[in-house]
Structure 1
Amino acid sequence: MNFTLHTEFSDRLKVDWDQLLETNLVQAPFLEFDYQKLWWETRGGGEWTDAELMILEAHQNGVPVGIAPLFTIRQPDGSTAVLNVGSVEVSDFLDLLVRPEFQEAFIAALLNNLIAMHIPGLKIVQLFNLLDSSPTLPVLHSAAGKAGWTLSVERLQHSPCITLAGDWETYLAGIDKKQRHEIRRKMRRAEEADVSVKWYFAEDESSLDAEIDGFLELMKNDGDKDSFLKPPMQGFLRRVVHNAFNHKNLQLAFLEVDGHKAASYLSFDYRNKIWVYNSGLNRDFQALSPGWVLLGHLIQWSIEHGRTEFDFMRGDEEYKYRFGAVDRFVMRADLTPPAS
């Protein structure tokens, strides 16, 4: 197994990347080449400043079998840490890209190759935001022990998800009775309100930037999100939306009350699943529960259009469980190299 080091997101790398992602056991919009490229160009919306790209690609008999998108940073003590591209805050699910039949061989060879590279001051390799079901985790346990690495795995965040099947009434019947009545009541109240209440998807490219502006303004109504939305992060999110639009997997939804934006969800409609990325709310319209109402419509739309999952991704906000989401977790794998 021969490794190639890439220090840029090249067109040639994209060909191999797309091929590997098609058969990868883990699928997520954050693993797409174009997403990872724009994440790197903005360093995650300004999350990182001093970092060097280190994408390791493996071939066997001339065929690409695995890609590890990594980068290095200098830590305060002068040592070097290796992280996976997309870490940490804005990419909910990350992983390696590997042909399934090469999973064990690639990860074992990757660990050996990281040692052979003699990275100055290498202290730790951290793989963030792996789903607890990721096949990478058990293989890392085995490969690390054999190669003399020390592995520790930490649970980082809840990541609830709804599995969709049947129709809207089947979905409602499967959640808590009290919550079922509450969802119906709030959606009916909005429908029967004396004011105009409507929801829609942003689908017109000519008005997309204006819709993004509206979404960011709704996000800023949350104090934590307002402090998070520094100019570099706003620029990153704007590029994420345009990238998703260009790839035809954007789902930017709004609920309006009398023409005013009251709630919004930014999601990805990707590989027959809905991946809920972020949201915004205008609390001036709280009496109509716009967040709940819009979410109800989005789940109903997803069921009617044959989507298999409604994935809330990271975060344990209570409303997600009230809508019937079941917990999973994202993990971090810390690998300490063998003593030299």
Structure 2
Amino acid sequence: MFGSAKRRIRSTDRSGGITVLALPTLLRSPGELTALVPSWRALVAATPGTSYFTTPDWVLGWTESLGREQAGRAVVAVWRAEDGAAEAVVPLLRTRERLHPRLPGGVLSWTLLGTGPGAADHCGFAVDPRRHQDVRAWLASLARRRTMLFPHLDAGTGDPFLPPGAREIERTACPVMPADPAALGSARHRQGVRRKARKLAEDGITFTWVAPDATTPELFDDLLRLHRLRREAIGGSSAFDATRRPLHAALAARAAADRGPCALVARDPAGRPVGVLYGFLWQDTFAYYQLGWDPAYAKASLGTVLFHETLTALAARGVRTFDFLRGAEEFKHRFGAVDRYDTTWLVARGAGGALLGAKSAARRVRNRRLRPVRGEA
């Protein structure tokens, strides 16, 4: 289907000139992918604008856990330099996109490996500028034969490689703010939060930063328990449950001191966790993923204080950006965040692709009719 790495793509530009572009090596086996990890991670770190969700830690952690049943349909395309170092990595999954949860089968499509359950944002590819043309041409050659659905792409690391004919079908707000407690809302708001923090400290509540290399699956269990308690107290359901544990255990296993899942934990005087704010550290950005806290501390505004204490801990460690990820909940903007956007793109091929396009159009109409969901701290 793909051809060998020794073949080339012949691309004709508008003036009629022909450019010969290199095809990638295609990796599928766990051993090949494990050997690629150091070079892949170094490439992601050297590529401006990449997120934790483009690292091998996330992509392979997802493949080994939530994506385990589909792992046989995964392929990682790699372009290498003469010394063997990765110059571009494009992880893809051949899957069936469901038209409706109650309908069997689906539309055979290419999508990004590591997306789907687990909620990856700012998706894209780590590509050295010298390989941009190669990656664009290769993805365009795949798109001539099959539908592609690329969710939640970052404008800088995903959009430049879209095949011809790609159509934007969703635009998602992902608010961000400086990782600085001095940027948390208005001056009056910050004063109130500091007062609440002092009162919690007087009551024996302590706050501890848990670095990525110290994060354990047991901490994730505490987060799940507290998140469930909070959801039960306010009503409503959440897709964040124990089915996500294998993914986060896999991410913790790949973590190092400067990257991976981490948390700010609040403990009561007996040392029991009563609040956990959890996310991912990658370079100078913390990506906020989930929050849980004991409803007994609602009047003390423990949720808001957790954000304040997290920002304080991040600033002390030189982190510059607090990324709220997907969702334009009101509290994020109240805290001082401003929107950036991810986009989802569809390259429709055949009747199946047309049906996916109709599904996305129906979803947009439905979403416009729904009132915005108000978030909470």
C-alpha distance after superposition, 1:34-56 (max 9, x if no partner): 32112001134x7x758611222
Q: Tell whether 2:50 aligns with 1:21.
A: no
Indicate the SS of the match to 1:155. strand
Contact residue 41 and residue 56 of structure 2 kept, 8 A = yes
Question: Is the Cα contact below 8 Å between 2:215 and 2:262 reproduced in 1?
Answer: no
Q: Flag the 1:14–1:50 CA change in 2: closer, same or farther, 3 A.
A: closer
What TM-score, normalized by structure 1, do the two folds share? 0.80
2:274 aligned residue (252, 255, 262): 262
The match for 1:239 is 250
With over 3 angstroms needed to count, the CA separation of the structure-2 counterparts of 1:225 and 1:14, relative to structure 1, is farther
Shift of 1:84: 0.1
Cα separation, 1, equivalents of 2:193 and 2:220: 27
Aligned to 1:284: 296
- Equivalence for 2:371: none
Q: Distance in 1 between matches of 2:135 and 2:83?
A: 14
Contact 1:154 1:332 in 2 (8 A): yes
Q: 1:66 to 1:74 in 2, by over 3 A?
A: same
Point out which structure has higher relative CO (alpha carbons under 8 A, 6+ apart).
Answer: 1
1:228 aligns with 2:246: no
Instruction: Give, in whole Å, the separation in 1 of the partners of 2:187 and 2:25.
Output: 55
**Paired position in structure 2 for 1:34:** 57
C-alpha deviation, 1:266, in angstroms? 1.1
Aligned to 1:309: 321
CA drift of 1:77 comes to: 5.8
Give CA-to-partner distance per residue, 1:50-85, whole Å, 9 cap, x none.
861122223476764322100111345664111101
Check whether the contact 2:25–2:78 (CA below 8 A) recurs between aligned residues.
Answer: yes
Structure 2 distance, partners of 1:88, 1:204, is 24
Q: 1:251 aligns with which of 262, 267, 281?
A: 262
Q: Aligned pairs, how many?
A: 316
Cα contact 2:53–2:59 (8 A) shared by 1: yes
Shift of 1:294: 1.6
Residue deviations 1:100-152, cap 9 Å, x none?
A: 2332442123312554xx6xxx3x11111212x32431453xxx3xxxx4211
The residue correspondences of 1:114-263 to structure 2 (distance < 5 A) are 115=144, 122=146, 124-131=147-154, 133-140=155-162, 144=163, 149-164=164-179, 168-169=181-182, 171=183, 175-192=185-202, 195-202=203-210, 208-221=216-229, 222=231, 228-244=239-255, 249-259=260-270, 260-263=272-275
Aligned equivalent of 1:97: 126
CA change 1:317–1:185 in 2 (3 A) is farther
TM superposition shift of 1:289: 1.1
**Between 201-210 and 242-251, the greater mean CA deviation after superposition:** 201-210
SS at match of 1:268: strand
In the superposition, the TM-score normalised over structure 2's length comes to 0.73
- In the alignment, the residues of structure 2 paired with residue 289 and residue 303 of structure 1 have an alpha-carbon distance, to the nearest angstrom, of 22
Deviation at residue 296 of structure 1 after TM alignment: 0.5
Task: Quote how far apart the aligned CAs of 1:326 are.
Answer: 1.0
Cα contact 1:50–1:74 (8 A) shared by 2: no
Alpha-carbon offset, residue 92 of structure 1: 2.4
Give, in whole Å, the separation in 1 of the partners of 2:303 and 2:167: 38
1:319 Cα deviation from its structure 2 partner: 2.2
| 1:110 maps onto 2:139 in alignment | yes
Following TM superposition, by how much is the alpha carbon of 1:164 offset from its aligned partner in structure 2, in angstroms?
Answer: 4.2
**Structure 1 residue 190 displacement after superposition:** 2.4
Aligned to 1:52: 73
Change (3 A) 1:278 1:245: farther
Q: Which amino acid aligns with 1:97?
A: A
Q: Distance in 2 between matches of 1:77 and 1:111?
A: 25
Distance in 2 (alpha carbons) for counterparts of 1:114 and 1:4 = 18
In the aligned structure 2, how far is the partner of 1:21 from the partner of 1:79? Answer: 31
C-alpha distance 8-230 of structure 1, shift in aligned 2 (>3 A):
farther
Segment drifting more, 92-101 vs 248-257: 248-257
Whether 1:82 and 2:110 are equivalent positions in the alignment is yes
For residues 85 and 209 of structure 1, the distance between their equivalents in structure 2, rounded to whole angstroms, comes to 23
- Cα deviation, 1:85-107, whole Å, max 9, x if unaligned, reads 11124222311121023324421
| Structure 2: distance between partners of 1:203 and 1:25 | 24
Deviation at 1:186, TM superposition (A): 2.4
Tell me the equivalent position of 1:66. 88
Distance 2:39 2:210 in 1: 32
